[in-house]
Structure formats: C-alpha cells, structure tokens
Amino acid sequence: MRGFRIVSIAEAVSFLVLLLIAMPLKYAGDMPAGVQAMGPIHGILFLVYVGMVFVVRGQLRWNAARTVLALIASVLPVAPFLVEHYWAKPVPGTAGAPERESAGRTA
C-alpha cells in the first residue's frame, strides 16, 4: 500500500516536471535535454502506477468504477495526488489498517 502511495506521488510529480519545466525548456528555450531525461523517467513511473493500480485494487477494495477512475487519473497531471490522498488508505479491518480504539474504552 505504501509503495502505491509513493508511486502515485512520484508519477504526478514527474508529469508536472515534464509539462511545466522540461517541455517549456524544449520548445521555448531550444533545450531538449530535460524532455530526454524526464520523458523516460515519467514513462516508467506511469507504467508502474498502472501496474500498481491492479495490484492494490483488491487490498483497497476498489470496485471496477474506482479502478477505472484511478487508471484515468494516470493521464491527468494532478489526479494521482488525489487518488493517493483520498483512495489509497488501508480499509479498516484489513492488514495494514490502523486499529481503532473502541469509543467507550477507558484506561
């Protein structure tokens, strides 16, 4: 689960760097080195993100619609941040989920 959260953030950051820094440098500054470096890095992170969606969907109890939305998020610049923040939390009652104390318990 934690790996998916890290990959989600890394994929979103790499996409933003590619769009907001590397591509403007390539086209406005005639400096293609940024795209040549960031392009493959982002491509690998994109593929890892897509693969991880299928790995964690069962652990996170995502239905088909949420899985498709998480996949669509991979092609939108900031959407993986939202997937990580709102949907990549362990489901209560599963391994990796924090245990909640009962409301009436006193120490």
pLDDT band at 90 (very low <50, low <70, confident <90, very high): confident
Token representation of residue 32: 């293609």
- State residue 107's pLDDT score: 47
Token representation of residue 72: 């669509």
Global pTM value: 0.80
Residue 12, phi then psi, degrees to nearest 5: -65, -45
- State residue 94's pLDDT score: 59
- State residue 91's pLDDT score: 67
**pLDDT tens-digit series, residues 8-55:** 999 999 999 999 999 999 999 999 999 999 999 999 999 999 999 999
Residues 11 and 74 sit within 8 Å (Cβ to Cβ): yes
